[in-house]
Structure 1
């Protein structure tokens, strides 16, 4: 199923969650609104395979030659090798990195550096975009010539991207309200590395105390806890819920003083038995 819309309606984290939950394969195109961010003015294509990010390319670069050019610039490949490999890239049905490694033209360390630069760093920058269009096409052809063979889950990418986000003004309307509580969606933490503050918030996400109280308990700003709450909810770990008013326990109800009607049988006036006992003692003294 394809999905298209505007980033002002669906954040990139929410789109990634859709791809991850559906274990989807396809290409997500991100087209920023022109003129808003010069550093991110190109259209970007993110290739997913079974919910994992395999590559990130942008339209300003030469098609199918991004990784080869990066390797040539680092002098890992000669110009002659790059030219020869470029003619074979379009025929690949496996990631270019695996192809190069099998022919001893690249090693694991080099491919990891390429992946961090091409996928991790670029994906994190894309979380700065809050205005533009997106389109997920499950029928689009995957660009094997831009794949290192390494991958990152959409959930991990969203967590990293939101951690590095400095300007939250574009997501302020999506942050959970301070008077609401956070509730875990599972009693067990999935195989995902949370930082210390994220873990503390997740640990207190029992649906019982408000975000404002969590912030006070942890000594954090309310806005910081709101941001952490959005991060954890966008990757499917918690949800925002209203705080239920505390209900009195049965023991407290049983121990409550029994109202006694006074005032000429008017049941709308009630006093406690202890008050009547004190009143009787006072009257006896007066007598």
Structure 2
């Protein structure tokens, strides 16, 4: 390095923005400037690969100023900061996928995402579904199984998605649009706790009919039966009800629950 280069390097150390004054700075000059201020890469025309990587490592948003970034550098950016994806022109499929794997919300920056990408997005973050227009039944189901509240962001959920959300948490019933009387019967059959959210408007006789069938099942679900026993809003003699209509398994679960008190 000659005396002039040494002088310029010294000036860069004192003020990294000085690199704007240098035509075709050396790799050492570029690195010195970038280490002090990664955004100085935007003033370098002859960007070296090592300098591109250094800038992105220090601040992923500098990817916006990297000339012809390699796929590896783009992946480095989106793995460090998912929304750096919006700063990358024409990202490869791999870069896009890595961004979505990092944060499902990254799908909002993807034009015409594939079904696979949508599924990755909602698997990573259930609420990424709010950025997906007309999600497929499979995408809906993955999202609500990830977290029941994904149902809040689905305009036209399938019956299967609605059922899955209700099974996870009965509160989901408050966010289901346009379900029928028959659908409601199904939801109550899936999770008896739905009743406590709709008790003032629900047909109690319908609930009793559903319960009569449920407790009679030979393989009645233990969690369902215990939730029924604990459901305070449903005022009835549950012990006598199970004794009269319950299957052998239902009666065993009842006795076990009484002994555990």
* TM score, norm. by length of structure 2: 0.28
Name the structure where helix makes up a greater proportion of residues. 2
